[in-house]
Amino acid sequence: MAFIFSGDDVCQTTTPTPIPAPYWVAFSHSSANLIGIALDDTGLPVDKEWLGVLSGNQLNTSDHHFSNPIATVYSGHQFGVWAGQLGDGRAILLGDIAGQELQLKGAGITRFSRMGDGRAVLRSSIREFLCSEAMHALGIPTTRALSIVGSDLPVKRETFETAAVCARFAPSFLRIGHFEHFAALDDVDRLREFADYLIQYHYPDSQNTDEPYLNLFQEICARNASLVAQWQAVGFCHGVLNSDNISVLGLTMDYGPFGFLDQFQIDHICNHSDQGGRYSYHRQPQIMHWNMACLASAMIPLLAGKSDEALAQEKLRSALDQFPVVYAHAWQSLFRKKLGFTTSEEGDIDLIERLLQAMHDSKVDFTNFFRNLGKLKSGESLLQNSLRDEFIDRESIDRWFDDYVARLKLESVPDEVRQHAMNQVNPKYILRNHLAQTAIEKAQDKDFSEVTKLLKILNKPYDEQSEYDSYSLAPPPNLQAVEVSCSS
């Protein structure tokens, strides 16, 4: 269901700004199939008009007409500080396609661009495209990416780069910032419209509860608690968890300076603009909880009505207190599965935490360790286990492996069954920064083959794909601490 709201206070009707000589950089077959775009033998749309539409150069194909593109207003907290009015400064919502909102990122200036140029560059567009599809393949809720269209139009960032437009879609791009914006304006009617829309189209079960708005808040919290637990389980760092970047559908969205962990460092910072480490890996659950508090504050008028505001605050606070409970349950369940446990035992959490501390101390590759852990044979000597060689403190990790093998014996599951189950939750392939950078550098020379290859590999992250083993390796030492910035 596309964005159904109208009015100058909510959105601006705007037309994408054309780019000169557009060309295809990448296209997602999976996304195209989901929204019903027919593809030819080359994997590109049969209807050639899609190049014009997805570049922002025209509004219609032979079958689809996007007659009312808009950019929406929202506000939010950025790095913990109220930033006031923000909005879609370079994202333009074309309209509905197969029940999804189709949006162009980098399609030109809108009323909300502030000091920006409304453009995106090839570098960041490739990163968002690949990570959106990689996260979907990992089974993590996310906005989807459809395509990248490039142009030789120069765009100034730290240096001059070339422009690109990334097409993405989602059931809704509504975010906490939409609620915060109208709460700041004391516009209860708009708040109610947003909440009623979410209940009608995305949280219908809330309608049948005693307090639909309170239940809506609880459900949004639960989805985002589960989401951040899934991030932690694959070592994903969002990088900019500002409240305006948080989906009220519990989707990963607004891919900027993200990064997957290589060497496990619990306090890893993937965004070099985040000098205080607010959005470091281990703080992501806490910050998501904080963002839910921002949403709770914005929703107070919906629960208060003519009654006591203090009572509304208390109800929302009580609901907010469930966030860490839902998160802990999801996190524990995921990490049990990563270790091959199908049951719950009293010492499991201690075992998980001891392992993560040891991995942190020795900077062990997060993805490869868990993937290779499934190969452990219950009858083999632990001294022959090459995984122990990844750790500095051999005595400590040997004790951990002794305890781990003892715990596995409680499962009574054959090694091959356990390995298969572990391989379904421990990916072999993630979008490592150095892989993305190689694809970007080739693309900047008009060679898009590496983007296509990475998309293919990342679409099956849990499969062995032995012909691509090199793409599962940890980065070389000089690329192990790569950080990215907010510039895109």
Q: What whole-number distance in Å separates Cα of residue 455 and Cα of residue 460?
A: 9
Q: Across residues 44-68, what is the average pLDDT?
A: 94
Taking the alpha carbons of 59, 64, 68, 74 in that order, is the dihedral positive or negative?
Answer: negative
Give 155-177 pLDDT, tens digit per residue: 998 889 999 999 999 999 999 99
- DSSP collapsed to 3 states, 164-211: EEEEEEECCCCEHHHHHHHHHCCCHHHHHHHHHHHHHHCCHHHHHCCC
Amino acid at 86: L
CB 82 within 8 A of CB 41: no
Enter the pTM of the model. 0.96
pLDDT band, very low/low/confident/very high, at 3 (cuts 50, 70, 90): low
Does 481 score more than 70 pLDDT?
no
Of 149, 148, 151, 121, the residue nearest 19 (C-alpha): 151
Give 230-251 pLDDT, tens digit per residue: 999 999 999 999 999 999 999 9
- Active centre residues (catalytic): 244
Q: What whole-number distance in Å separates Cα of residue 86 and Cα of residue 83?
A: 7
pLDDT at residue number 8: 81
For 387, list phi and psi in degrees, rounded to 5.
-65, -30
Q: What whole-number distance in Å separates Cα of residue 270 and Cα of residue 268?
A: 6
Q: Across residues 405-428, what is the average pLDDT?
A: 94
The partner residues of 260 in beta bridges, in order of sequence, read 236
Instruction: Select the more confidently predicted residue: 383 or 318.
Output: 318
Give SS3 for 340. Answer: coil
Of 130, 164, 131, 162, the residue nearest 149 (C-alpha): 164
Q: Would you state the structure tokens that stand for residue 221, as one six-digit string?
A: 């919290």
CB 141 within 8 A of CB 252: yes
Cα separation values, 76 from 52, 298, 376, Å: 33, 11, 47
Residue at token pair 């207003």: 73
pLDDT at residue number 273: 86
Q: What whole-number distance in Å separates Cα of residue 426 and Cα of residue 340?
A: 10
Q: What whole-number distance in Å separates Cα of residue 389 and Cα of residue 292?
A: 42
pLDDT band, very low/low/confident/very high, at 47 (cuts 50, 70, 90): very high
pLDDT at residue number 306: 57
pLDDT band, very low/low/confident/very high, at 133 (cuts 50, 70, 90): very high
pLDDT at residue number 275: 82
Q: Would you state the structure tokens that stand for residue 267, as one six-digit string?
A: 């306090």
Looking at residue 468, what DSSP letter applies?
G
pLDDT at residue number 486: 53
Q: What whole-number distance in Å separates Cα of residue 416 and Cα of residue 401?
A: 19
DSSP-assigned states of every residue in 232-255: HHHTEE-S---GGG-BTT--B---
Alpha helices (H) along 111-166: 122-138
What does the chain come to in residues? Answer: 488
Looking at residue 44, what DSSP letter applies?
S
pLDDT band, very low/low/confident/very high, at 295 (cuts 50, 70, 90): very high
Does 488 score more than 60 pLDDT?
no
Number of other CB atoms surrounding residue 154 within 10 Å: 12
Q: What are the structural domain ranges in the chain? A: 11-170, 176-331, 339-423
Amino acid at 413: V
CB 26 within 8 A of CB 451: yes
Residue at token pair 């780019």: 19
Torsion of CA 128, 134, 139, 141, to 10 degrees: 0
